[in-house]
Structure 1
Amino acid sequence: MGVVITDNLDKMLVLFLIFLPFGHGFLLDNPQGNAGQSLPANQYLTISKFVEEKTLLQQKVETDTTTLRHDMDTALALLTTQLKQKFDLMDAKITDKEAQNKTNQALVTLQQKYQALEQTYHNLKNENVILQGKLSVVESELVLIKNKTNMNDKLFEVQKECCNDTQTVLIKQGNELSVLKNKSTAIDQDISSLQQIKILEEKVQTLSSQTTTLSLKERARSQDFLALYNMTTHSFSDLEMRTDSKIQQLLNQHNISFSNIKDRMYRLNNDTLQSHNTSVISLERSLEIQLKNIEKNQIKALCEISSGMLETEKRTNLTLSGLQKQIDDSTDIDAREENEDDLGKDVLLIELYEAEPALWDVHSAAYRDKYERKKSVDRIDSIMKIGGMKIN
């Protein structure tokens, strides 16, 4: 502002000096007035006074300008120092604010990441609860399967009891046949005539008809047992297929959930590796422990299923083999009894024919072949016994 004032004063002085020679209004060195009138002595200004006043004014202006410049310089210096101090304070405050804003932003980002981490943890916890529910459902299904296997075992036991009852009935019938055989032998010993032989033949025919009916009944029972065996094998195969499908579904669900949890854990590790190493490590360990526990429980359940299936298969195989053995033994016993009955009848007849040669003329065509066959069988048996073999 002081520089602008001094420039204006210099311009005014230059203009004054330029227009000074052209002025005629001061009437210097002209003591006479207009129209012959005289003027007072102090009416006109001399050049020396004008110059002196001019110099005084110039000096005053210069002193004023110097003082003004000095004041302006001091004021500007003071103002610059104050502004510098204020700017320094503002810079310090701005730096503090920026640092505080950075820390606040970092805290906000950390809080957001922590909230996201907590949300993912809740999601994983909910998924774990869902998996626990599915595992409980699978365990309930396994319990149902075990109950079904127990029911099948009970059915097998009932069938075994039925087979035992049939075996006892067959044993009773065999005892009755043995009693009848004993009676027939007693009757054969008391035979003395051809009429008694005919009666004995009729009894033998009735016995053979009874044995044929018994063999037919045994065949029907064996067919019933085969049908029952086919039904049990079909139900067991159906049960095995359903358990295999359930186990496969459980394994697929476990693999999918395990892969999803691994992917989420990998993303969680990549997102929060720099800020929350310790919390992520602890969370990852807990999740791994939970996953290992879930996997162990599922493996244990699968092992229990497989062991239960193996036990049921072993039981069914044992029961079926026992039933088959009992049926084979019963059929072998019946066949042997029939063969023994036939051989006993033939032996009795042959002994009768040997005791009374006159009967050969009556029944020579029917029983001579049997007599010769019996002798050949006896020879073969003796030869095989000598060689250490046995003929059934």
Structure 2
Amino acid sequence: MFFVFILLFIGCDGFLVDTTNPPGSGQYLTDKHYKLLMDFFIEERQARVHLEDVVTQLHNELAQTQTAVGNKLHALNKENSTLEQYVKELKNKTEVLDNRLLDVESENIQLKMELDSLRKSHSALEVQYHQIKQNYATFENKTHYFDTEIQSLNQFKSVADLQAVFRISNQTDHLEHELQNTNSQIVVLQSSDNARKQDFLALYNKTMVLEQTTNSQFLSSETRNKARIQKVAVDVSQNSIKVAKALDDITAYNQRTAAVSLYPVEKTYSSGSTILFTGIGTSNGLSSTRLADIRNKGYFTCDKDGLYRISISLMTNTKGGKAILYKNNNVLNFIYLHNAHDSDVKTTTFDSLERLSKGDTIIIKASSTFHLYGFRYSVLSVLQITK
């Protein structure tokens, strides 16, 4: 601003206040312009001071904000550390509760075993108690019977009768002694039974309290176990899907594999005639409709594209026989049936791997006249190896 003021001073040839010379075409600075310029300088100065105050205030507010943010961040870090410590303590308490739960389960199992043992002992004591009661009733009946006999014997006067009375009296005394022993045993058994009942009740109460405590502690574990069970159920469902898919793949593989063994009709075939394979030995992957079609036609027709093994075994007693293997109308190979003598029987075998398409036929024709044996002696086998 000072530099601007100097420029204005130089440009106006100084601040000349001359009332004698009126202002010309802008070469002199008038009082009005001077006052306006001074007002402008004052306003600019005030604006600068105000701007410096605002900047100072903003700087202070920024410092306060940074301090507050730092304090808040420190408090949050401290609170985070406290939460981590609390989580660790909760994990430790959870592990302690799990261990305590295992101990309670073991104690519960042991108490249940002891309770079962006490129940068995109590049942055995009850059986003994009822048996002693029955014996006691029997003794009372015998005592009553002997008392009746004694009363009747008191009326006898003879010595023999008196001896019988003495004998009966001795037996009665003996029975009374045994009855007293029996009563003592009953008292002892009753005392033992009462003690066992008290023990049983105490053990039962302890078991009930333990079960209640265990049930309350199992609530949280049950929730976790349900989640685990659901996860296991999902895994089992996924495994079931995989097993079902594997079974489907196996079924599809079994269904896609075609195999059949055919037996020819036994007879003498002339040159150019087709050897009819109408007997079905074994088959796999072929429907009953296809098997019936093979029996009717006498040759094999492919219904699935793939690589096939063609195995032929022909038995003849004709010397110098020959057969031709055709795929559709194309010759695949020649089969020579060599025999030294007409009376000899010989089997000729042939194997070949051929790529067959759906609709291709495998036909064997006689190239000369020869007799061909049929079932169990000659066979045509076709096995699908790959798709």
Do they superpose with TM above 0.5?
no
Structure label with greater radius of gyration: 1
Q: Which structure shows the bigger proportion of residues in helix conformation?
A: 1
TM-score between both structures, scaled by the size of structure 1: 0.32
Q: Which structure shows the bigger proportion of residues in strand conformation?
A: 2
